[in-house]
Amino acid sequence: MQIFGVDIGGSGIKGAPVDLERGDLVQERHKVLTPQPATPDGVAGCVVEVVRHFDWDGPIGVTFPGVVTGGVTRTAANMDKAWVGVDTATLLSDRLDGRPVTVLNDADAAGVAEMTYGAGRGRSGTVILLTLGTGIGSALFTDGHLVPNSELGHLELKGHDAETRASVKAKEDGDLTWERWAHRLHKYLAHVEMLFSPDLFIIGGGVSRKPEKFLPLIEGIRAEIVPAKLQNNAGIVGAAMAAKH
């Protein structure tokens, strides 16, 4: 079975048809840059562009980098504040000629994909997936069940929003070495571990393609730490999974 998935991020919007039997993309994903400012109208136009690139005519799952309840976006830390309170599922469905659209938190989508097809498959206990990118997204699972919209990237760390210290954007903006950034990431993981005592951390986002650069530098965390297997496609896969139900 194939369903289309779109992953909206702070820097890029990407999508592709997904084979839900295999949990993999059917075709190479199409990506466009997130407009600045990332307004609902501008981003919706980009989503339409990505979907039309594949001439897709069916259900569509879409991720959003913020809290989503009932298809409505409630927060927008790395997007334009105009998103707050928008019925995003209806907005996108209208722009896509009435195609059914399901919207969910981006990290939750990536987490569900990793728990089904990737690094979390068959794992019980408490599992936390963290997507490291423009910000830090999180997906929290207990015995395979998702606790939606956990938003652990906004925990306070040294008086700051954690994602402003330990995201990939923070690394790039501060021109940090891998060692310096890994030190910050370690502090963040230790804080999350103190609060939730997870059995497993899954590290997702684009940086999951380079685990050898930073994972060996993180010591003293009790939980197992592994890179996401679906890497940066996890959000697209999870979005498609959500649109199936």
Q: What is the pLDDT of residues 200-213, one digit of tens each?
A: 999 999 899 999 99
CA distance readout (Å), 14 to 43, 50, 152, 175, 176: 11, 7, 24, 26, 27
Whether residues 52 and 39 share a domain: the answer is yes
Q: What's the pLDDT at 23?
A: 96
pLDDT in tens, 47-67: 999 999 999 999 999 999 999
Number of domains in the chain: 2
Contact 136, 77 (CB under 8 A): no
- pLDDT at residue 157 in the model: 87
Specify the CATH number for the domain of residue 135.
Answer: 3.30.420.40
Q: Are 141 and 126 contacting, i.e. CB atoms less than 8 angstroms apart? A: yes
What share of the chain has pLDDT > 90, as a percent?
95
Tens of pLDDT, residue by residue over 79-114, are 999 999 999 999 999 999 999 999 999 999 999 999
45 CB burial (10 A radius; 0-12, 13-18, 19+): middle
> Does residue 117 belong to any structural domain of this protein?
no
Query: Same structural domain for residues 176 and 126?
Result: yes
CA dihedral 80, 135, 160, 85 (to 10 degrees): 30
- Summary mean pLDDT of the chain: 96
126 and 222 within one domain = yes
Alpha-carbon gap, residue 227 to 202, rounded angstroms: 6
Instruction: Say if 114 falls within a structural domain.
Output: no
- Residues 109 and 148: their CA atoms lie apart, in Å, by 10
DSSP 221: -
Local confidence band at 44 (pLDDT 50, 70, 90 cut-offs): very high
